[in-house]
């Protein structure tokens, strides 16, 4: 069997509880790969991970490797092939008597976590490590982490796959088709209410989803805000941030990165802009991505953008620029 080292922060959190079994079940990395899992938590919580490890052992998967728990990020990410940065504070919880609802609060609280984690990853994870940031604000946390890592051979992503899955589900429902007939679902920009879940370039059985649905009023006034605000709607309904669907999207992202992308399709994640589509270099921006046969990740070029798309992409770009400005002291 092959062997892979996977580090997960926030190992005792809600998302991790759904995520961890699927990382060691053979589903994500293949039945021929044994997964050594390092669970990383803050010191106050790390003991609880012993219980999580017991449950993972009790799942009885053949692909289960060495399972460890630590509150030392450097120990956790050493020689990691994949690092899933889930640990951070979600919206909706109360800290020092104040309910954390604004992204600016999250930026301050969570941004700081990613400097030390990024530094440890840059120094100690494998040179070809892949890093997926799930913790919010995911794009700007990834920006901070990637800058602190300062290791250009490693590949950083921020998660927008949940947004893509949400967008596909809504378009499929409206068009009365199976979700599997939807391809090329692009989330442009930020994992935030400014994201642009592109219905024009998404396809249903090879044809533009917007053309198939043929209802611009619904697309602009219903579909778009629904997908953009779905995270908040789940928090309001559930009293907690989405967890099972977020874990599922993290698994989808890892699989998409590990496997060749078929022509006519893409996967959604945010990576550092190389200037494609006029997005300022370095911003962690949601693009249409493809995994080549060589395993290299590239931004798919030549996607046509109408004026509506351009206006939406401008808004999300400006938001990410202002987030970058707000954390400038953490990325210098």
Q: How far is the CB of 135 from ligand LMR (least distance, A)?
A: 9
| 72-101: contacts with ligand LMR (CB under 6 A) | 90-91
Q: How far is the CB of 322 from ligand LMR (least distance, A)?
A: 18
Phi, psi angles (nearest 5°) of residue 305 = -120, 125
Nearer to ligand LMR, 15 or 330 (CB): 15
Question: Is residue 222 a contact partner of residue 174, using CB atoms and an 8 Å limit?
Answer: no
Q: Distance between CA atoms of 81 and 28, rounded to whole angstroms?
A: 14
Which residues of this protein are in contact with ligand NAD, per CB under 6 A?
9-10, 12-16, 40-42, 45, 86-88, 90-91, 113, 134-136, 138, 159, 162, 191, 241-243, 246, 249
Total of residues contacting ligand LMR (CB under 6 A): 10
Q: Please choose which of ligand NAD, ligand LMR, none residue 135 contacts, taking the beta carbon within 5 to 8 angstroms, the exact cut-off set by kind.
A: ligand NAD
Nearer to ligand LMR, 232 or 314 (CB): 232
Q: Please choose which of ligand NAD, ligand LMR, none residue 13 contacts, taking the beta carbon within 5 to 8 angstroms, the exact cut-off set by kind.
A: ligand NAD
Query: What does the per-residue mask of binding to ligand LMR show for 155-174, with x meaning CB under 6 A?
Result: -------x------------
241 is an interface residue for ligand LMR by CB under 6 A: yes
Q: Please choose which of ligand LMR, ligand NAD, none residue 199 contacts, taking the beta carbon within 5 to 8 angstroms, the exact cut-off set by kind.
A: none
Q: Which residues are catalytic?
A: 191
| 193-232: contacts with ligand LMR (CB under 6 A) | 231-232
Sign of CA dihedral 249, 81, 68, 30: positive
Question: Rounded to the nearest 10 degrees, what angle do helices 244-258 and 161-175 cross at?
Answer: 100
* Tokens coding 212: 């198939």
Rounded to 5°, the CA angle 270-257-228 comes to 35
Rounded to 5°, the CA angle 101-106-109 comes to 130
Nearer to ligand LMR, 81 or 319 (CB): 319
Q: Please choose which of ligand LMR, ligand NAD, none residue 234 contacts, taking the beta carbon within 5 to 8 angstroms, the exact cut-off set by kind.
A: ligand LMR
Report the C-alpha dihedral over residues 301, 303, 306, 307, rounded to 10 degrees.
Answer: -20
Please name every residue paired with 312 in a beta bridge, in sequence order, or none if there are none. Answer: none
Q: How far is the CB of 214 from ligand NAD (least distance, A)?
A: 30
Q: Please choose which of ligand NAD, ligand LMR, none residue 15 contacts, taking the beta carbon within 5 to 8 angstroms, the exact cut-off set by kind.
A: ligand NAD
Out of 141, 190, 242, 291, the residue judged to bind ligand LMR by CB under 6 A: 242
| 116-145: contacts with ligand LMR (CB under 6 A) | 136
Q: How far is the CB of 253 from ligand NAD (least distance, A)?
A: 10
How long a stretch of residues is the chain?
A: 332
* Tokens coding 125: 């994870």
Nearer to ligand NAD, 138 or 144 (CB): 138
Nearer to ligand NAD, 63 or 136 (CB): 136
Question: Is residue 256 a contact partner of residue 160, using CB atoms and an 8 Å limit?
Answer: no
Q: How far is the CB of 42 from ligand LMR (least distance, A)?
A: 19
For tokens 């990165």, name the residue.
Answer: 257
Q: Which positions lie near ligand LMR, rule CB under 6 A?
A: 90-91, 136, 162, 231-232, 234-235, 241-242
């Amino acid at each position: 069997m092959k062997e892979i080292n996977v580090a997960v922060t926030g190992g005792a959190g809600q998302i991790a509880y759904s995520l961890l079994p699927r990382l060691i079940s053979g589903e994500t990395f293949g039945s021929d790969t044994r997964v050594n899992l390092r669970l990383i938590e803050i010191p106050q919580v790390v003991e609880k991970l012993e219980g999580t490890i017991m449950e993972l052992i009790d799942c009885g998967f053949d692909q289960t490797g060495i399972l460890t728990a630590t509150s030392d990020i450097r120990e956790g990410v050493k020689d990691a092939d994949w690092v899933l940065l889930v640990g951070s504070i979600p919206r909706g919880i109360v800290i020092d008597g104040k309910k954390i609802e604004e992204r600016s609060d999250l930026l301050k609280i969570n941004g700081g976590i990613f400097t030390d984690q990024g530094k440890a990853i840059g120094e100690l994870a494998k040179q070809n490590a892949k890093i997926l940031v799930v913790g919010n604000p995911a794009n700007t946390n990834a920006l901070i982490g990637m800058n602190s890592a300062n290791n250009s051979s490693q590949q950083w992503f921020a998660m927008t796959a949940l947004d893509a899955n949400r967008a596909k589900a809504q378009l499929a429902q409206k068009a009365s088709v199976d979700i599997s007939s939807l391809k090329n679902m692009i989330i442009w920009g930020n994992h935030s209410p400014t994201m642009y879940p592109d219905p024009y370039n998404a396809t249903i059985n090879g044809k533009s989803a917007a053309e198939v649905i043929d209802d611009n009023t619904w697309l602009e006034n219903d579909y778009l805000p629904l997908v953009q605000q779905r995270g908040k709607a789940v928090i309001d309904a559930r009293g907690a941030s989405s967890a099972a669907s977020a874990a599922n999207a993290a698994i989808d992202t890892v699989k998409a990165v590990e496997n060749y992308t078929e022509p006519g399709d893409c996967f959604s994640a945010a990576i550092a802009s190389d200037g494609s589509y006029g997005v300022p270099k370095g911003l962690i921006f949601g693009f249409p991505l493809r995994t080549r046969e060589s395993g290299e990740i590239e931004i798919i070029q030549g996607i046509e953008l109408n004026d509506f798309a351009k206006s939406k992409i401008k808004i999300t770009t400006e938001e990410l620029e202002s987030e970058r400005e707000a954390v400038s002291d953490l990325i210098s």
